[in-house]
Amino acid sequence: MSNRAVSYAGPGRVEVIDTPYPEFELKDGPGVNPANVGRKVHHGVILRTIATNICGSDQHMVRGRTTAPEGLVLGHEITGEVVEVGRDVEFVPVGDVVSVPFNIACGRCRNCKEGQTGICLNVNPDRPGSAYGYVDMGGWVGGQAEYVLVPYADWNVLKFPDRDQAMEKILDLTMLSDILPTGFHGAVGAGVTVGSTVYVAGAGPVGLAAATSAQLLGAAVVIVGDLNADRLAQAASFGCETVDVSKGNPADQIEQILGVPEVDCGIDAVGFEARGHGADAATEAPATVLNSLMEITRAGGSLGIPGLYVTGDPGAVDKAAQEGSLSMRFGLGFAKSHTFVTGQCPVMKYHRGLMQAILHDKVSIAKNVNATPIGLEDAPQGYAAFDEGAAQKFVLDPHGLIPR
């Protein structure tokens, strides 16, 4: 069997390459941790990929802002059909159409047992937590490919109840592998509930998913900030208020909307490549969003922080930031008794409920993030457009199965 996949080809470049068809063993390859080479995966299934999305998390690697090695096969947002089942899989038959959480988790360790699947202890020899196709995550091969191996399948996959119904809503359901649960986790972490006022920094797909989730949770007002006009228009298209951070500090613009320069809940959907505010918007200032959320979130409030922060950034603005040390005004957060909720989203906590919300028409995530299907071979153009700030979420369709 042949296989094609999207691979990182050095700063600013991805290419579509021939790559081995998966086996029930993790083979050596770019980014595979030596301690994971030869690992048997009889608990895995092989999927024919139906939809696999490009993410801002991929962009950090493709921009050369991580230590990702060239040749790394990308892709952690995976939805597909089971075509082969490993010897030790009991409950996932061939033919199931499933969503795969981007976190790889064993289901056996202390953290998995406590629902913390984003920091599984058994899948990545480097550190807790793993993902497909990602630097420092153990070397599990990415799913922006025709076929992909999913380990611990009985534990990890979420089956869609009906194949035809799933294919009808595939552009919504594909967001269950990452951004919808991630945005929802951001909103839950920020304490969003009925009547909350919410500020979401970032109008990329994760920010828009967080805003969508805040609405689903009953927020009174959802304000989305960015410096990209097209993305702000996308947020406004489904009822969010907007703040253009290139025009100045969000606090002033929030005051114009709410009458007070403060919100109940703050969400960071930007991460370490944050731009400054106002006159500084042309330059990178990695602690900007964290500092401004502490400023605008009410005393006693929470900060949901799905935006990614790293322990090493070769392209950082200064030496401290190269090691992930940021100039945070932590004393302000302390003074206001803020809670900080960080880390990978434990997708499994939320994906079943959000699937039901999609299947019963309670949420329109594909429309809200402007999901745009493209062929696998068009991935380089998709990456380029996303990097330029297109107000789109690109969904790769390796087998031409997604209705256009």
Footprint on this chain of ligand NAD (rule: CB under 6 A): 55-57, 59-60, 178, 182, 201-207, 225-228, 231, 245, 269-271, 274-275, 277, 288-289, 306-308, 344-345, 389
| Sole window of 104-112, 193-201, 298-306, 368-376 interacting with Zn ion (rule: CB under 5 A) | 104-112
Joined tokens for residue 250? 């969000």
Least distance between ligand NAD and beta carbon 257 (Å): 15
CB-wise, 77 or 264, nearer to Zn ion? 77
Q: Is 136 in the site for Zn ion (CB under 5 A)?
A: no
Q: Which is nearer to ligand NAD, 24 or 140 (CB)?
A: 140
CB nearer ligand NAD, residue 191 or residue 205: 205
- Rounded CA-CA distance 384/13 in Å is 9
**Token pair 């940021």 is at which residue?**
326
Of 236, 231, 242, which is closest to residue 200 (Cα–Cα)? 242
109 binds, among Zn ion, ligand NAD, none (CB under 5 to 8 A by kind): Zn ion
CB of 37 to ligand NAD, least distance (A): 26
Provide the sign of the torsion angle of the four alpha carbons 91, 94, 98, 103, taken in this order.
positive
Residue 80 near which of ligand NAD, Zn ion, none (CB within 5-8 Å, type-dependent): none
Residue 320 tokens, joined: 């401290």
Does 119 bind Zn ion (CB under 5 A)? Our answer is no
Output the smallest distance, CB 383 to ligand NAD, in A.
11
Distance CA 54, CA 261 (A): 35
The CB density around residue 252, as the number of other CB atoms within 10 Å, is 12
Q: Please say which residue, 75 or 250, places its beta carbon nearer to Zn ion.
A: 75
- Please, what is the angle between helix 179-189 and helix 205-216, to 10°? 60
Decide whether 106 or 287 has the Cβ nearer to Zn ion.
106
Nearer to ligand NAD, 309 or 330 (CB): 309
**Site for Zn ion contains 216 (CB under 5 A):** no
Question: 92 vs 89, 163, 259, 367, CA distance in Å?
Answer: 7, 14, 53, 30
Give strand ranges (E) for 9-151: 14-18, 25-26, 39-40, 45-53, 78-85, 97-100, 147-150
Given CA atoms 218, 223, 226, 227 in this order, what sign does their dihedral have?
Answer: positive
Residues 160-189 that bind Zn ion (CB under 5 A): 178
Task: Compute the least distance from the CB of residue 42 to Zn ion, in Å.
Answer: 17
Residue 392 DSSP one-character state: -
Q: Is 374 in the site for Zn ion (CB under 5 A)?
A: no
Q: Which partner, Zn ion, ligand NAD, none, binds residue 231 by CB below 5 to 8 Å per kind?
A: ligand NAD
Q: Which of 9, 109, 281, 341 binds Zn ion (CB under 5 A)?
A: 109
Residue from 5, 6, 98, 112 in contact with Zn ion (CB under 5 A):
112
For residue 79, the partner it binds in Zn ion, ligand NAD, none, with Cβ less than 5 to 8 A by kind, is none
CA–CA separation, 390 and 382 (whole Å): 9
- Find the shortest distance in angstroms from Cβ 345 to ligand NAD: 4
DSSP one-letter code for 350:
T
Smallest gap from Cβ 351 to ligand NAD, in A, equals 13
Closest CA to 383 of 98, 95, 74, 154: 74
Q: 147-150 and 221-226: which strand pairing?
A: unpaired
Q: Which residue is nearest to Zn ion (CB)?
A: 55
Question: Is position 55 an interface residue for Zn ion (rule: CB under 5 A)?
Answer: yes
Cβ closest to Zn ion, residue 120 vs residue 269: 120
**Residue 270 site contact among ligand NAD, Zn ion, none (CB < 5 to 8 Å, cut-off depends on kind):** ligand NAD
Encode burial over 39-75: b for 16+ CB neighbours within 10 A, e otherwise: bebebbbbbbbbbbbbbbbbebbbeebbebeeebbbb
Shortest CB 34 distance to ligand NAD, Å: 26
| Residues paired with residue 221 on neighbouring β-strands, in sequence order | 197
Task: Using the minimum distance from each CB to ligand NAD, give the nearer residue, 17 or 121.
Answer: 121
User: Could you list the residues that contact Zn ion (CB under 5 A)?
Assistant: 55, 57, 77, 105-106, 109, 112, 120, 122, 178
